[in-house]
Each structure stands twice: as structure tokens, then as C-alpha cells.
Amino acid sequence: GATLDGSRSHKADVIAYLLGQVESLENVVMVGDTKFDVLGAKEHGIPTIGVAWGYGNVEEMQEAGAAAIANTPQELLELLEK
């Protein structure tokens, strides 16, 4: 998440930081519950699977470009296995 000192205050900043921690981006996917997760990942070319049980709005995540929406944890697992 964001840092208290403000150095990472936007989703795109947080995602950029996390991407710097992995060796390969081959199988990277964002799992998020708001349109801000989708938009932040999109800035880095990462697909997002939205989850319907979080804080955000499913329609907003779809409009922002979510690759898929999982309605249950089981659906999320199935989407991640694809």
C-alpha cells in the first residue's frame, strides 16, 4: 500500500515498487477491488482481475478495463489458473 511518508501515494507508484521486487513479469496479474487498482495496473501494462466482494464497484472496474471479474474466491482461483 501507500507509505506514510508519501513516497508511494498512488496505486501506480505502489505497483511500480512491487514490480521492482520480482524477477519476471511473465505471469504478473493484479487482483484488486477498485477501479484505482485496475487503472494503476494498466499504467504498467498489467491485466487486472477485479473481485466483486471488495470495496469497489464492479461496473467501475469493468469500465476501467478489468480483464475479468471474480464473484467468489473460487472464481478468482479458476481465473488465476488460466
Gap between the Cα atoms of 57 and 8, Å rounded: 24
- The continuous run of DSSP H or E covering 81 comes out as helix 73-81
pLDDT digits (tens, 9 = 90+) for 1-37: 666 677 766 777 888 888 888 888 888 999 999 999 9
pLDDT digits (tens, 9 = 90+) for 28-52: 999 999 999 999 899 889 999 999 9
Alpha helices in 3-72, H assignment, sequence order: 11-19, 35-42, 58-64
Asked whether 64 and 35 are in contact (CB, 8 A), the reply is yes
pTM, two decimal places: 0.83
How do strand 48-51 and strand 30-32 relate by DSSP bridges? parallel
